[in-house]
Amino acid sequence: MAPPKKYPDELRIRAVERWRASDPRPPIVQLARELDVHPEALRTWIRQDEIERGERPDPRAERLSETETEELHRLRAENAELRRINEILTAASAFFASQLDQQRRLL
C-alpha cells in the first residue's frame, strides 16, 4: 500500500497554476512559504508540470530520434483530433437519440 500523500492533489495543482500565472514568476522559496509547503516539494511539482507540458525534457525518458519525436508529435495531434471528434459524435448521438424518443412518444 502506498504511503499517504503529505499534500493534497488540489493544493499541488493550485500551487503550480499560481506559479505559472504569476508575472514575473516569484521565487519558489517565497511562494512555498506563502502556501505553507516545502520548497523542494513545490520545485518538484513545477518541474513535473514542465515535463508533462513538454517544456522540459524528461531525464528518466530514453532519448528519441528526430523521426520518433516527429512521429510522437504527429500521433499526439492525431489523438487530440480523434478525442475531439469522439466528443462531437457522442453529443450528436445523444441528440439524435432524444429526437427519436420524442418521435416515438408522438406516435
What's the pLDDT score for residue 10? 93
What's the pLDDT score for residue 104? 80
What's the pLDDT score for residue 68? 86
Secondary structure class of 63 (helix, strand, coil): coil
**Distant-in-sequence, close-in-space partners of 45: CB < 8 Å, separation ≥ 6:** 12, 15, 16
Model confidence pLDDT, tens digit, residues 69-105: 899 999 999 999 999 999 999 999 999 998 888 878 7
What's the pLDDT score for residue 31? 94
What's the pLDDT score for residue 84? 96
What's the pLDDT score for residue 17? 95
In this structure, the number of other CB atoms found within 10 A of the CB of residue 32 comes to 20
Cell of 77: 495531434
Q: What residue type is assigned to position 27 of the chain?
A: P
Model confidence pLDDT, tens digit, residues 13-69: 999 999 999 989 999 999 999 999 999 999 999 999 998 888 887 777 777 788 988
What's the pLDDT score for residue 1? 67
